[in-house]
Structure 1
Amino acid sequence: MYEHDLLHLTKRLEHRECPELEQPEIGKVVVSGRLFGNKATYSCPHGYHVVGLQSRSCQADGKWAGQPPACKENIYCLQPPTIEHARHSALPEQATFDLDATVQYNCHTGYVTNGFPRAKCLAIDGQASWYGPDISCEPRSCGEPGDVPHGWVTADCHTFGCRAVVQCGQGFELVGKAERYCQADGAWAPKELPTCVQGGEKGTV
């Protein structure tokens, strides 16, 4: 009895029709049939792509699965903006980016990120364009290079990559390194300041 009822139900489903589908404004739909299990396949013309279900099935209740898809124009962003002293998360081989794609920016070692570090691909007036980032990468500061008794320190700047030169006054000579450099971690190197000791008229070493 059970098998007979199941067979009867299957035959009823096989003969239940889904409604005819209208052709979309852009693209076309090809239907293999309108009975249970048949499929409707959507496609778009050149320059467009399917957004939504590319294929819909005729269901047991006589309705097509899901909602009709749409053909959207192919618009995309090219390479993200270049920011001085920064890199972004996208692979260098990637030449195009879909709408809503997001990339993250990070400043190079020794630089501090200021501002909004992300960019997003958006459609503006029918054209794809990157929104953001709004950042600048400023060199990390090491602060003052320090004072040396009986000498002086000359430095044109106090940020990453800068150099400080220590000189001793007349009658004193330098013990240690005469040059210090501002490092990526915001510290001067060498860490220890040189000293000026009395003894002769030797200046910078």
Structure 2
Amino acid sequence: MLGTLCEMTCDRGYRLQGRRSIQCLANRLWSGTAYCRRIRCHVLPLILQGRYTCTHGFFVDSRCDFTCSPGYRIEGEHSRTCQHGGSWSGVQPVCSDTDPPKIKCPPSRLKLADPGKLTAKVSWDPPAATDTADKFLNVVLVDQAPGTEFKEGLHVIRYKVYDQARNRATCKFLVRVKVKRCLELPPPLHGYLSCSSDGNNYGAACEYLCDGGYERRGTSSRVCQFNHSWSGSPAECVREYRVTQTSHHHVKS
């Protein structure tokens, strides 16, 4: 009817474009026009090493959920919602590499020293390291390197691995070097021993030597064998006997 005043409002998610109120004029036309335009939030930026999915695009009440690539974790909001005013709730999250790498050391090993030596050369393959996020990992050997001579006893070998985000993992294994030994040889009475290497280790040789005025009887030297026993049998030092010849003259009477 002439003079009717209409207030214009929009449904949720729409914004009024044009006049808020219009009137029916005497010329039987309305005093203006209005329409409702759908409210849209700006396009969310992509996040590195992650993605998002939205319930209904970038329109009001749409919720966008963020997920990260394997090996990465969300820092910040897990979701953002397009609000009635046309802005997103919260702040944009980031995907951070928080997963440490994995490293597997080789098994522990026992090595026997070679004959005549107190060390053993021990080798192994470097450990395998993996990470959910990175292909290039920095593996660091903390202790003695493979392929080198290890002294008698127990050695702890440690490895560390770092990924690009400086997350760290470690592993360790043992290297044991054993020297086979014989019981120590007692020196001969009136003599002494001269031994090579460490004196009673596998491969060591001991020579029997006698004091002045004594001579050796028996084996000259003995060797410590793999079965922990000495070769041969012990020698003795015996007093030298000088045989002097005297001539007897028979005198005829």
TM-score relative to the length of structure 2: 0.33
Bigger fraction of residues in helix: 1
TM-score, structure 1 as length reference: 0.39
